[in-house]
């Protein structure tokens, strides 16, 4: 009888639901009860987003990870992490020496298995990480990013598995990040890999949003998969993962050897997760992310990004409705904008070369769809704004696209003077650890045990600096206090419907406190949340709306050669995006085409270049400030 092993994707459970993960005190408190459940061979403790998210609320991720992994390692449960290959554990490419250091640090901290994926499915990017992970003493699990298109065939995935196994991969993971892999089709992929590589273990990971996941699990197990990723209530289903109890019951009934679940421990873990949500995490969880949605079948957007999508959608809706109201046009509600977005993703995906919709390329395609939809609604055309990161994807700087670019994209690239790159992407991102070492030494910062603090600065420079200065903790506490006061996420306060003239849903749907009940398990009582807010509003919608223009005094235009440089879209304004860049300052002489700064919107950067030669009279916005479309960024004096 075939044995099936379970992995609890604890990190991804939280990331798929909202913005943050539990604090270190919460992680160490829940770990013994997860172990007591007695049914997990593996647990996903860290990876993409974990360190960065810890930094965002002012906590040292290295100390958190060492304490979090220790009890699992002592119990014989393997800890695994998620690596984005060229992007490491962030959204953009990482120097080679930083990637190598990451695996050494993570292995020293207690992580044993590295799940490595590339958003392009480019084997070159995956194999580099496979080599680095094995050199660090880790098990290298190569992930195939699953999507469903005319170019992503059964043969395509079997061939990709052949290449990464030849490159040294110890295991294979089918990373069905959107849950859109068709069950029988997935079973054929697993069977094909097993036929060629019978001794290579296969793990299956799927989000449950579109509804295929349970059938897919049964098919991949029948074909020979040994490990299955699961979530658990109150963070299973919806944009998350299938629930442990349902999978265990299904596979046991099908005759497989599956571990029993200690239900008393299960209910304890479930109850503690609810307590974490009630403490602060629930304020960052959008209620709609707990729902399944068959529209995700065609758009293919992954569950792991739906939390950020709904937050972005809230801001985009406000911006768009502000413009519509100003131009006396009917306002949109969130549902209408979401459907338009899904339709646009489906339309543009083949045109941009079918990149698998996984981080960061799912965000890039979604962001491009948002920009297109916004421009079309305003009377413009598609492709009017393409951020720098997306051009890097289109021109091969991040890996080879699986499909071909549409002629209109190639023509636009030629018009914009974009050059296509065919080499190994890592060549474009040279080593930089020495620069970060100097910065740490200049600041008197400790490099940390096993150089883990050096790694953290090199991987997340801005977030780490904000953590060290205390700004991150201050900003987080301010945000949390506003959400608690105004209501947000799962804990949105009931209120009267807003007037249609404001930038909110036309439906006027309101939220309520989550209902709870007491469940008795083996004589012990547990508080259980059984329903969520019925509002469809994204987390934080009740925040006071930011001013649409800068509060600073802008000098009046006295002469014809003075003009304003405005923001082309809403986002956060930055003078630099790389630590090696020198920011412009008032009084600088600027040449036409020089970079003035960037607008970061939806995790992509849009470069602001000078259209003329001249001098900067004033930088109107603070570095990192939130700005809206048409806000003044610079006062510029033409030459």
* pLDDT, tens digit, 9 for 90 and up, residues 594-607: 889 988 876 677 88
Best CATH choice for the domain 5-284 from the list 3.90.79.10, 3.40.1350.10, 3.20.20.70, 2.70.160.11: 3.20.20.70
Provide CB contacts within 8 A for 278, sequence distance 6+. Answer: 491
Exposure string over 180-218, b if 16+ CB within 10 A, otherwise e: bbebebbbbbbbbbbeebeebbbbbbbbbbbebbbebbb
Alpha helices in 383-501 (DSSP H): 388-394, 407-415, 433-443, 452-459, 461-469, 471-486
Which helix (H) or strand (E) segment is 187 a member of?
A: helix 183-196
Give CA–CA dist 465/52, Å, rounded.
12
pLDDT band with cut points at 50, 70 and 90 for residue 214: very high
Mean predicted confidence (pLDDT) in 37-44: 98
Query: What's the pLDDT band for 425 if we cut at 50, 70, 90?
Result: very high
The pLDDT confidence band at residue 622, using thresholds 50, 70 and 90, is confident
- Cβ atoms 474, 450 nearer than 8 A: no
What is the signed CA dihedral for 349, 350, 351, 352, rounded to 10 degrees? 60
Give the mean model confidence (pLDDT) for residues 396-419.
93
Q: Which of 52-66, 131-145, 287-301, 501-515 has the lowest mean pLDDT?
A: 501-515
Strand partners, 634: 565, 619
Q: Does position 159 have pLDDT exceeding 70, yes or no?
A: yes
Helix (H) or strand (E) holding 565: strand 562-566
pLDDT category at 523 given cuts 50, 70, 90 is low
Q: For residue 636, what are the contacts with CB-CB under 8 A and spacing of at least 6?
A: 562, 563, 564, 565, 590, 610, 612, 614, 615, 616, 617
**Confidence class for position 309, pLDDT limits 50, 70, 90:** low
Angle at the Cα of 252 from the Cα atoms of 242 and 210, rounded to 5 degrees: 25
> Which two structure tokens, joined as six digits, stand for 55?
């930094």
Q: For the chain, what percent of residues have pLDDT higher than 90?
A: 54
pLDDT-based confidence at 375, cuts 50/70/90? confident
Walk across the sheet containing 595-601 and list its strands: 604-609, 595-601, 571-574, 626-627
Q: Under 8 Å CB-to-CB from 515, ≥6 apart: which residues?
A: 529, 530, 531
Query: Does 552 score more than 60 pLDDT?
Result: no
Question: Which CATH topology does 562-638 take?
Answer: OB fold (Dihydrolipoamide Acetyltransferase, E2P) (2.40.50)
**φ/ψ (deg, to 5) at 47:** 125, -155
Q: pLDDT band at residue 500, thresholds of 50, 70 and 90?
A: very low
Q: What is the mean pLDDT of the chain?
A: 85
The C-alpha atoms of residue 145 and residue 125 are separated, in whole angstroms, by 13
Please answer whether residues 321 and 500 qualify as being in contact, where contact means their C-beta atoms are separated by less than 8 angstroms.
no
Residue 481: helix, strand or coil by DSSP? helix
Phi, psi of 98 (to 5 degrees): -75, -40
Domain ranges of the chain: 5-284, 562-638
Q: How many CB atoms lie within 10 A of CB 464?
A: 26
């Amino acid at each position: 009888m075939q044995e099936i092993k379970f992995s609890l994707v604890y990190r991804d459970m939280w990331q798929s639901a909202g913005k943050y993960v539990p604090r270190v005190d919460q992680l160490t408190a829940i770990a013994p009860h997860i172990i007591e459940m007695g049914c997990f061979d593996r647990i996903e403790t860290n990876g993409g987003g974990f360190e960065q998210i810890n930094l965002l609320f002012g906590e040292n991720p290295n100390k958190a990870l060492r304490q979090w992994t220790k009890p699992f390692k002592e119990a014989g449960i393997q800890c695994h992490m998620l690596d984005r290959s060229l992007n490491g554990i962030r959204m953009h490419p990482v120097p080679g020496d930083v990637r190598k250091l990451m695996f050494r640090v993570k292995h020293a901290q207690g992580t044993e298995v590295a799940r490595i994926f590339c958003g392009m499915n480019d084997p070159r990017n995956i194999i580099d990480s496979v080599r680095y992970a094995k050199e660090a003493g880790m098990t290298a699990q190569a992930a195939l990013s699953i999507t469903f298109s005319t170019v992503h065939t059964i043969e395509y995935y079997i061939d990709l598995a052949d290449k990464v196994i030849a490159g040294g991969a110890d295991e294979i993971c089918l990373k069905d990040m959107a849950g859109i892999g068709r069950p029988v089709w997935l079973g054929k992929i697993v069977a094909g890999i097993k036929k060629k590589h019978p001794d290579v273990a296969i793990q299956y990971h799927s989000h449950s949003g579109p509804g295929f996941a349970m059938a897919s699990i049964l098919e991949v197990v029948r074909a020979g998969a040994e490990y299955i990723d699961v979530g658990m209530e109150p963070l299973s289903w919806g944009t998350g993962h299938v629930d442990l109890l349902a999978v265990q019951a299904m596979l046991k009934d099908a005759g497989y050897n599956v571990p029993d679940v200690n239900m008393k421990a299960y209910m304890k873990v479930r109850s503690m997760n609810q307590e974490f949500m009630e403490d602060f995490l629930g304020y960052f969880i959008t209620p709609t992310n707990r729902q399944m949605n068959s529209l995700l079948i065609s758009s293919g957007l992954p569950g792991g990004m739906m939390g950020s999508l709904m937050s972005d959608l809230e801001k985009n809706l406000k911006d768009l409705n502000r413009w519509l109201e100003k131009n006396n046009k009917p306002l949109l509600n969130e549902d209408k904008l979401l459907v338009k977005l899904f339709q646009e993703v489906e339309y543009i995906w083949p045109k941009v070369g079918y990149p698998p919709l996984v981080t960061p390329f799912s965000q890039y395609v979604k962001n491009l769809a948002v920009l297109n939809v916004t421009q079309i609604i305003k009377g413009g055309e598609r492709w009017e704004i393409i951020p720098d990161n997306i051009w890097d994807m289109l021109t091969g700087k991040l890996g080879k696209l699986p499909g071909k670019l549409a002629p209109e994209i190639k023509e636009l690239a030629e018009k914009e003077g974009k050059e296509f790159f065919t080499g190994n992407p890592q060549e474009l991102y040279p080593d930089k650890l020495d620069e970060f070492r100097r910065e740490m030494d200049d600041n008197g910062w400790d490099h940390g045990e096993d150089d883990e603090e050096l790694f953290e600065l090199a991987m997340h420079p801005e977030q780490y600096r904000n953590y060290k200065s205390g700004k991150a903790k201050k900003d987080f506490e301010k945000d949390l206090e506003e959400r608690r006061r105004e209501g947000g996420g799962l804990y949105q306060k009931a209120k009267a419907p807003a007037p249609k003239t404001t930038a909110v849903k036309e439906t006027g749907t309101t939220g309520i406190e989550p209902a709870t009940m007491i469940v008795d398990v083996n004589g012990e009582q547990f508080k259980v949340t059984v329903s969520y807010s019925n509002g469809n509003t994204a987390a934080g919608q009740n925040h006071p709306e930011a001013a649409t223009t800068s509060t600073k005094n802008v000098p009046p235009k006295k002469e014809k050669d003075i003009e304003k440089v405005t923001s082309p879209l809403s986002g956060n304004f930055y003078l630099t995006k790389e630590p090696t860049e020198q920011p412009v300052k008032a009084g600088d002489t600027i040449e036409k085409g020089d970079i003035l700064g960037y607008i970061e919107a939806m995790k992509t950067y849009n470069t602001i270049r000078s259209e003329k030669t001249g001098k900067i009279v004033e930088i109107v916005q603070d570095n990192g400030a939130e700005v809206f479309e048409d806000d003044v960024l610079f006062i510029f004096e033409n030459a």
